[in-house]
Structure 1
Amino acid sequence: MSGAVGVGARYDGDAGGAGGGGPVPGGGPGGSGDDAEALLRARLRRADEQIEAPPGLWDRIRESDGAPEPAVARPRRRPYALVLGVAAAVAAVALGVWWLVRPGPVHVRPAGPPPTVRLTVHNSESACRGRRLLECALRLAKDPHAPYAARGNSAGRVWHGDVLTARCVVTDGRLVRDEAGLTSTRWYLVTTGQGVEGWLPGVRTRNTHEVPVCPEGHK
């Protein structure tokens, strides 16, 4: 008995060849498991090669890579500027107030002679008031605590109406009585218009001005 025995569909390695469909993945009557795996990989590779990128995709990627970094928010400095402005305003106001109420220049006067008081000589004897005679002269003493009429206690002479400059007064000098009976222990340290210095008894003037008391060295 002659005849051919069919062996089924033949696999020649071409998935799209004429002769029927290829073997089923996973093995089977038409081929082994390795052949199915190779067929699957071939189909996946072919599908990957047929994928096309959308138009402009790579340009958009490049643009996104070169885009500037987002700006980082910086802390606001407004409060610091406000504080500095307020401080400057306060300083300006303080400077203006100081300029308005600032003290004027201080002038230091050099120490000069003590203040003086002008005294007018008075003679109790009316007959000598208009005459500059030696008999009408009044004595200036050297020492207000010594006897007024003592021989060596004479510093100079003055007459009725002479204007003298008094520097100071002692209140505990020798007691002197004038021709009208008036007494006083006050003595004035005076200087005449000719520069003669001496002590004038209080009874020889009618002073109405305040005269400072002499320091200890003049007593």
Structure 2
Amino acid sequence: MGVGPRYDGGAGGTGGDGRDFGGGRGSGAGDDAEALLRARLRLADEQIETPPGLWGRIRESGPAPAASVVALPRRRPYTVALVVAAAVAAVALGVWWLVRPGPVSVQPAGPHRTVKITVYNSEQACRTGRSLECALRLARDPRAPYAARGNAAGRVWHGDGLAARCVVTDGRMVRDEAGITSTRWYLVTSGLGVQGWLPGVRTRNTREVPECAEG
């Protein structure tokens, strides 16, 4: 006669109807959790996007190439000497240029030294042409009457260049057609070699002329 199902006291036994009475956890749940975690990490990694222009900025901010150092050729002793000699010569030339003497004009000394003056006619109508009516007199004596008959040494015209040797400041006063007066008389020589005295009112001289010696 049957006595029913036998229980031998072992853990995890099964009943006669095949049900599991054990209290241990199976390995299938752990595998599912690990797979789920991997899937979520992969999805998060795929959703990360690279900011635009990131790689270009990284390349631009990279370290600059080191500057190349070029070794200069060593100067030989005689080359240095030539450079120094050229520098000294340039300095000497510059000093000479600063202190060089001005242009020297050789002029005759004594009574042969003259100053060029130009004849001036106050009458505008007589400033062209060389008519007798427009001729100006050179006097023989600066202290005699200018229009005296015997006080004529030669003729000059407006614009003539004369060589003045000296001047007297106490000659006879002469008045020109414009009313200008002067007691200055220049001892002159014309281009034709005629020597005489020109009244100061017949020139507009701006150059210094030495005074004539007395006697």
TM-score scaled to structure 1, two decimals? 0.48
Q: Which structure has the larger Rg over C-alpha atoms?
A: 1
- With the length of structure 2 as denominator, give the TM-score of the two structures: 0.49
